[in-house]
Amino acid sequence: MKEFFTKQVANEGIKLPLIRPSDGSETAHWLQIRGIDSDAYHRATRRYKSELPDIAATIASIDDEAKRLDFTDSARSEQEVKLMASLVAGWSFDEPCTEENVIEFLTQAPQVSDAIDKIAGKRSRFFTNNSASLKSSPEANLS
C-alpha cells in the first residue's frame, strides 16, 4: 500500500527553483511547493467551496452586466490565486512566507503561479522524497 502514499511528501513539498523571466537565467531563489494531496490545499479548497454561495449571491445581485462580469472575473482570479498560494510551503525570499505575501507574489508573477499549478497537480512528483527538487525539470522553466 505504501507505494501509493503521496500525502506526506505532498505536505512537505518539493523545491521549485525560480528563474528570471527576462532571460531564463538561474537565480538563488526557490519556492517549496506542496502537492494537491496536501492538507493545506484541501483546506483551501474547502474554504473556496464554502465561499461560493456568497460569491454567487453577490453576482446575482449585480444588475449591470459589465460590472457583473468584472466582479465574476475578479472573484475567480482571487480564488485561483488563493488556491495556488496554499501550495506554497516556503521560499527563499527575505520576506516572511505569509499567505498575504505569497498572494502578492503570485499576483505579480503569474508565470510562477502557472508553474505551481502544473507541478502541484503532477502526483508522480510527490511519490518519493527523491523528488525534493525540480532543478532539471522542464516544468521549472518559468519563462
- How do the domains of the chain map onto residue ranges? 2-140
Rounded to a whole number, what is the distance in angstroms from the first to the last CA of the chain?
38
pLDDT tens per residue, range 109-125: 999 999 999 999 888 88
pLDDT at residue 58, rounded to an integer:
94
pLDDT tens per residue, range 45-87: 999 999 999 999 999 999 999 999 999 999 999 999 999 999 9
Higher-confidence residue of 101 and 24: namely 101
85: CB partners within 8 A, 6+ apart: 44, 99, 102, 103, 106
Q: For the chain, how many residues are written?
A: 143
Over residues 77-99, the mean pLDDT reads 96
**Cα–Cα dist 59/46, whole Å:** 20
